[in-house]
């Protein structure tokens, strides 16, 4: 399976100047949104990911809202087939009004599927690990035992050790240079006045705070 090639053909992988959820600046971006309508490929990817956990007696598959919600459903479906257990699927919602990227199991019945359960987390793309680390924290706070994390794609530096989980699996690596915002201004793409993409990632948030950025802003989708 050449997941990276498929993601490129679908139009998920970009090069350019982007801002990630952690406010770091990136010389590329993997936007999984164009993949989601391709249910045939999504199913194939998720089946491959969860096969790595088929013998771990998983109780629940968890994903962060919103884009990765289909992943927990298909993950639970295939693990049920593989293990014979009735595996549950839940997702963690972003906490409204939170200034930091916090998640919680706010929907009725979700916490019960996490507490004292063996779980795995499924993500679409892990860039700077801010989202998945927040979900990991929420799972542990809710009493769940994390067996592992799976992702369709991940940037360099994403490992089981970096995530502090027993197992990490990915289908492909999508690697590009990354700078903290202040370093980007000194030595990165900001220092070269490369336009920031505002309609993919979090460039729109950066624009709100830096409307006069010398490199300007561009849109790739709209």
CA–CA gap between residue 101 and residue 118 (Å, rounded): 24
Q: How many residues does the chain have?
A: 222
Q: Tell me the helix, strand and coil percentages in the chain, rounded to 5.
A: 35, 25, 40
CA–CA gap between residue 176 and residue 193 (Å, rounded): 18
pLDDT at 112 over 90: yes
User: DSSP assignment of 99-156, as one string?
Assistant: SS--EE--STTTGGGTTT-EEEEEEEEESSSHHHHHHHHHHHHTT-EEEEEEEEEE-T
Q: Give residue 222's pLDDT band: very low, low, confident or very high (50, 70, 90).
A: low
φ and ψ at residue 88, rounded to 5 degrees:
-95, 160
Distances (CA, A) of 95 to 47, 120, 124, 125, 200: 29, 21, 20, 20, 22
Instruction: Calculate what percentage of the chain has a pLDDT beyond 70.
Output: 98
pLDDT at 49 over 90: yes
Find the domain containing 190 and state its range: 3-218
CA–CA gap between residue 134 and residue 156 (Å, rounded): 19
Closest alpha carbon to 118 in 181, 175, 53: 53
pLDDT at 98 over 80: no
Q: How many domains does the chain have?
A: 1
Burial class (CB in 10 A: 0-12, 13-18, 19+), 139: buried
Residues 5-37: tens digit of each pLDDT:
999 999 999 999 999 877 899 999 998 999 999
Q: What is the pLDDT of residue 21?
A: 79
CA–CA gap between residue 1 and residue 171 (Å, rounded): 8
CATH number at residue 20: 3.40.50.2020
Answer yes or no: pTM beyond 0.85.
yes
């Amino acid at each position: 399976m050449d997941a990276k090639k498929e993601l490129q053909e679908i139009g998920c992988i970009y090069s350019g100047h982007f801002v990630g959820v952690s406010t770091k600046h990136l010389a590329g971006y993997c936007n999984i949104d164009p993949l989601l309508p391709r249910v045939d490929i999504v199913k194939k990817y998720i089946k491959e990911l969860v096969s790595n956990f088929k013998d771990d007696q998983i109780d629940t598959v968890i994903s962060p809202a919103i884009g990765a919600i289909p992943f927990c459903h298909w993950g639970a479906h295939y693990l049920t087939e593989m293990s014979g257990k009735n595996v549950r699927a839940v997702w963690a919602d972003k906490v409204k009004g939170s200034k930091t990227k916090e998640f919680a199991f706010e929907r009725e019945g979700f916490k019960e599927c996490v507490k004292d359960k063996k779980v795995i987390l499924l993500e679409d793309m892990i860039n700077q690990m801010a989202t998945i680390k927040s979900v990991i924290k929420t799972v542990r706070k809710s009493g769940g035992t994390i067996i592992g994390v799976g992702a369709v794609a991940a940037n360099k530096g994403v490992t089981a050790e970096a995530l502090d989980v027993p197992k990490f699996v990915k289908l492909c690596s999508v690697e590009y240079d990354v700078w903290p915002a202040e370093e980007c201004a000194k030595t990165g793409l900001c220092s070269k006045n490369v336009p920031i993409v505002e309609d993919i990632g979090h460039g729109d948030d950066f624009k709100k705070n830096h409307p006069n950025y010398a490199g300007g802003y561009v849109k790739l989708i709209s």
